[in-house]
Chains A and B, each alone.
Chain A
């Protein structure tokens, strides 16, 4: 086997409020694919960012090829052959693929033609089809990820770190990626990929390092371990399985009716394309699809935040198509946005002030504009208790809470605001397993209460577990609406890629 190419010994990393890495030691061998598995918040990104020089370790040693190295900046890391593809792409949309790849590697006058040619050669060598002269903002997400990988290949990476690489890919693209990873490793390079999805790990990795609460809780070879054992190492106890109670939602009345809804922009592009569906009382309608196919627009349209150019939306028979966000809130529609930092909360305001967010026009907590803050504070305390939010008191800023607790508050607020309809857009993204289960329980509770629930998620397992029906969204329209039992992962993957219903049903050859 030989010497490990990467060895990290007793790494500690402290941030102001947390000990993100607690005595972490690990090794990586040449030609090996290592999966770094753990829940959100386990410290996996942190330890790898330390290896890549983005973070400075509080204490510990790093050895590359057996020699101790001081990695202060990403440049030091890249000189040693370590490259990292970040979870959130660090690309510059307004520049071309070539410009993005050569950034930082160059001195002097740029020979654009020569560089573009080199990028094209590199791209061909690995079987990527990346247009070297295109602007990044015009490329789909899957291709953008390939650009990120090309950045690393251009720098002759021999240790490639990938942080949650499959988050934005459909099943077929994930296969292609895993293929690349195995080929790359076969050349003698090492790959470390960070993930929280056990299935990927079982498919692609040679060895699995599991982290929990900032420390390494286990290190196993893939062939020596089962999924259940992995889960236990990841979360410290057995996974709780949620059971969706039976329902006969179809016999209930249709509360939300969407009729031939389209959103067409001035340049002819359609953000939403002739959507027709309805949601019954007590039903969870799940929406599957790769991010960026209109899910965000659908949510905003149903919330009054985006102008609908054609068609109508009715709530309990009342036409709400062109009503404002204010009016939607007053009609009892709640919305948990995918990006809660940006759309769902004000991070520098207190918990109490955040609870007020949707109610400023409702007259619920104010008389003629004068707010009774102690009432709001009491309400906030109730929400904290009900959803088990870990917070010292209601006056701390919401930004100081952990992601899971923030989400619990936002969910608690929106579920309260949504007396008739609740829209959940990726409600469990970025949360640890405990919080995920909590939120999923809430979604089921709302269903039980007879509300119409819209659930958008990129986690297929979540959709299958919770939805009464699943719609697949592609380029602004529904490819179809199905019962969960009529779908499998492969079929849904094809539909998400835009394959027509007939093809998807006819052959599972993975054709695109």
Chain B
């Protein structure tokens, strides 16, 4: 039983960056932009967060700089796609390759080649008094770290903004018919760029989660496609922040199963199978889901009339 509680607690933990990244993706895709550079932004966040925390000793500063870095990379991607007419998938790939090189190079520049990997103290969990003593649920829900708590708060806020405010109406309209928005006198390109910046902030923090909250170090393989899983979760969650959270948790569970396989009696199965499960799951779910609610003009270039 203890094993299951640990597993679920871990699942919620691992779901945090995925849910954050997916929510950022929802914000961007609702305005019609796909964040194809998501993997690169995650990596940038992980690297920046680790570097800053290692040098300054402050986790808070690490996460903050990771947020800013994420926004910066998203700004590069966004500027190129929105104002320089670049194709989103093409630009996303270019930025991802660039960030891989950039982060590895500068890790080397700053830290050289240490004989043993550099480490930082990871985020502590914060036990919410009283609530964390509730049997079973207490350990799972109320003994998490601050980023996880923030994520759970952010998701309903983003939901509210998208569906109940005029900002959200404008965002959704950009994704459905940007011409209508332009004709109404609003600046479609600015709205999309801002949405990308917000997504970049989310993605940067999500990336930093891996280096600062999970393993406490940085390697170039630290992200390994998780950014893409977050991208996929946006699709699977039907472009709704709630869906992003739900599927984030689903994938978090699979991640956790891999870690706790022995504890729950799945010792005989090769570890590689657990590693590939999340990716296989995205494939299966993508194939079986009937896509609805996809923003009508997602990914389509908006040609500003002049």
Query: Interface on A for B, CB 8 Å cutoff?
Result: 49, 53-56, 73-78, 84, 86, 90-95, 99-100, 102-110, 151
Q: How far is the CA of A439 from the CA of B173 in the complex (A)?
A: 39
Q: Is B177 a contact partner of A92 (Cβ separation < 8 A)? A: yes
- Pick from B165, B181, B185, B186: contact of A110, CB below 8 A: B165
Q: How far is the CA of A137 from the CA of B263 in the complex (A)?
A: 53
A12 → chain B, closest Cβ, in Å? 14
B166 CB-CB contact with A under 8 Å: yes
Q: Is A107 a contact partner of B166 (Cβ separation < 8 A)? A: yes
- In chain B, what residue has the closest Cβ to A86? B183
Q: How far is the CA of A57 from the CA of B177 in the complex (A)?
A: 25
B296 CB-CB contact with A under 8 Å: yes
Given the known inter-chain contacts A56-B306, A108-B166, please indicate yes or no for A90 contacting B179, CB distance below 8 A.
yes
Q: Is B180 a contact partner of A91 (Cβ separation < 8 A)? A: yes
Residues of A within 8 A of B306 (CB): 55-56
Q: Is A104 a contact partner of B170 (Cβ separation < 8 A)? A: yes
Q: How far is the CA of A75 from the CA of B186 in the complex (A)?
A: 7
Q: Is B172 a contact partner of A95 (Cβ separation < 8 A)? A: yes
Residues of B within 8 A of A73 (CB): 185, 187
Q: Is A106 a contact partner of B166 (Cβ separation < 8 A)? A: yes
**Interface set, chain B 165-194, CB cutoff 8 A to A:** 165-166, 169-170, 172-173, 176-177, 179-187
A463 → chain B, closest Cβ, in Å? 31
Q: How far is the CA of A90 from the CA of B187 in the complex (A)?
A: 15
Q: How far is the CA of A230 from the CA of B187 in the complex (A)?
A: 40
Q: Is B180 a contact partner of A54 (Cβ separation < 8 A)? A: no
- In chain B, what residue has the closest Cβ to A104? B184
Residues of B within 8 A of A74 (CB): 182-185
Given A74-B184, A84-B183, A103-B181, 16 additional A-B pairs, CB 8 A = A55-B305, A74-B182, A75-B186, A86-B183, A90-B182, A91-B180, A93-B176, A94-B176, A94-B296, A99-B169, A99-B173, A103-B170, A104-B170, A104-B185, A107-B166, A151-B184
| A-B contacts, 8 listed (Cβ < 8 Å) | A90-B179, A92-B176, A93-B177, A94-B296, A104-B184, A104-B185, A105-B184, A110-B164
Majority SS at the chain A contact face:
loop
**Interface set, chain B 257-306, CB cutoff 8 A to A:** 296, 305-306
Residues of A within 8 A of B173 (CB): 92, 95, 99, 103
Residues of B within 8 A of A94 (CB): 176, 296
Query: Interface on B for A, CB 8 Å cutoff?
Result: 164-166, 169-170, 172-173, 176-177, 179-187, 296, 305-306
Residues of B within 8 A of A99 (CB): 169, 173
- In chain A, what residue has the closest Cβ to B296? A94
Q: Is A100 a contact partner of B180 (Cβ separation < 8 A)? A: yes
Q: How far is the CA of A247 from the CA of B260 in the complex (A)?
A: 86
Q: Is A90 a contact partner of B176 (Cβ separation < 8 A)? A: no
Residues of A within 8 A of B180 (CB): 90-92, 100, 103
Q: Is A91 a contact partner of B177 (Cβ separation < 8 A)? A: yes
Residues of A within 8 A of B172 (CB): 95
- In chain A, what residue has the closest Cβ to B177? A92
Q: How far is the CA of A92 from the CA of B306 in the complex (A)?
A: 22
A-B contact count (CB 8 A): 72
Q: How far is the CA of A107 from the CA of B182 in the complex (A)?
A: 17
Residues of A within 8 A of B296 (CB): 93-94
Residues of A within 8 A of B186 (CB): 75, 104
Q: How far is the CA of A73 from the CA of B186 in the complex (A)?
A: 8
A49 → chain B, closest Cβ, in Å? 7
- In chain A, what residue has the closest Cβ to B185? A75
Q: How far is the CA of A99 from the CA of B184 in the complex (A)?
A: 12
Top 8 closest A-B pairs, CB basis?
A: A75-B185, A104-B184, A106-B166, A90-B180, A74-B185, A90-B183, A92-B176, A92-B177
Majority SS at the chain B contact face:
helix
B123 → chain A, closest Cβ, in Å? 34
Q: How far is the CA of A92 from the CA of B172 in the complex (A)?
A: 10
Q: How far is the CA of A106 from the CA of B167 in the complex (A)?
A: 8
Residues of B within 8 A of A86 (CB): 183
Q: Is A104 a contact partner of B181 (Cβ separation < 8 A)? A: yes
- Pick from B165, B176, B177, B305: contact of A54, CB below 8 A: B305
A366 → chain B, closest Cβ, in Å? 32
Residues of B within 8 A of A93 (CB): 176-177, 296
Residues of A within 8 A of B184 (CB): 74, 90, 103-105, 151
Q: How far is the CA of A164 from the CA of B150 in the complex (A)?
A: 52
Given the known inter-chain contacts A55-B305, A74-B184, please indicate yes or no for A110 contacting B177, CB distance below 8 A.
no
- In chain A, what residue has the closest Cβ to B168? A110
Q: Is A110 a contact partner of B169 (Cβ separation < 8 A)? A: yes
Interface centre among A49, A53, A99, A110 (most CB of B within 10 A): A110
Residues of B within 8 A of A109 (CB): 164-166
- In chain B, what residue has the closest Cβ to A15? B306
Q: How far is the CA of A103 from the CA of B306 in the complex (A)?
A: 22
Q: How far is the CA of A105 from the CA of B166 in the complex (A)?
A: 9
Given the known inter-chain contacts A55-B306, A56-B306, please indicate yes or no for A102 contacting B169, CB distance below 8 A.
yes
Residues of B within 8 A of A104 (CB): 170, 181, 184-186
Interface centre among A53, A78, A104 (most CB of B within 10 A): A104
B109 → chain A, closest Cβ, in Å? 44
Q: How far is the CA of A110 from the CA of B165 in the complex (A)?
A: 5
Q: How far is the CA of A254 from the CA of B10 in the complex (A)?
A: 75
Q: How far is the CA of A143 from the CA of B182 in the complex (A)?
A: 22
Residues of A within 8 A of B177 (CB): 90-93
Residues of A within 8 A of B182 (CB): 54, 74, 90
Given the known inter-chain contacts A103-B170, A104-B170, please indicate yes or no for A54 contacting B183, CB distance below 8 A.
yes
Residues of A within 8 A of B187 (CB): 73
A286 → chain B, closest Cβ, in Å? 33
Q: How far is the CA of A481 from the CA of B236 in the complex (A)?
A: 51
B212 → chain A, closest Cβ, in Å? 35
- In chain B, what residue has the closest Cβ to A94? B176
A168 → chain B, closest Cβ, in Å? 17
Q: How far is the CA of A94 from the CA of B295 in the complex (A)?
A: 9
B175 → chain A, closest Cβ, in Å? 9
Q: How far is the CA of A107 from the CA of B186 in the complex (A)?
A: 13
Residues of B within 8 A of A75 (CB): 185-186
- In chain B, what residue has the closest Cβ to A112? B164
Q: How far is the CA of A333 from the CA of B184 in the complex (A)?
A: 44
Q: How far is the CA of A91 from the CA of B305 in the complex (A)?
A: 17
- In chain A, what residue has the closest Cβ to B180? A90
- In chain A, what residue has the closest Cβ to B179? A90
Q: Is A108 a contact partner of B165 (Cβ separation < 8 A)? A: yes
Residues of A within 8 A of B181 (CB): 103-104
Q: How far is the CA of A74 from the CA of B183 in the complex (A)?
A: 6
Q: How far is the CA of A99 from the CA of B163 in the complex (A)?
A: 11
B165 → chain A, closest Cβ, in Å? 5
- In chain A, what residue has the closest Cβ to B166? A106
Residues of B within 8 A of A106 (CB): 166, 169
A136 → chain B, closest Cβ, in Å? 10
Residues of A within 8 A of B185 (CB): 53, 73-78, 104
B33 → chain A, closest Cβ, in Å? 17
- In chain B, what residue has the closest Cβ to A88? B179
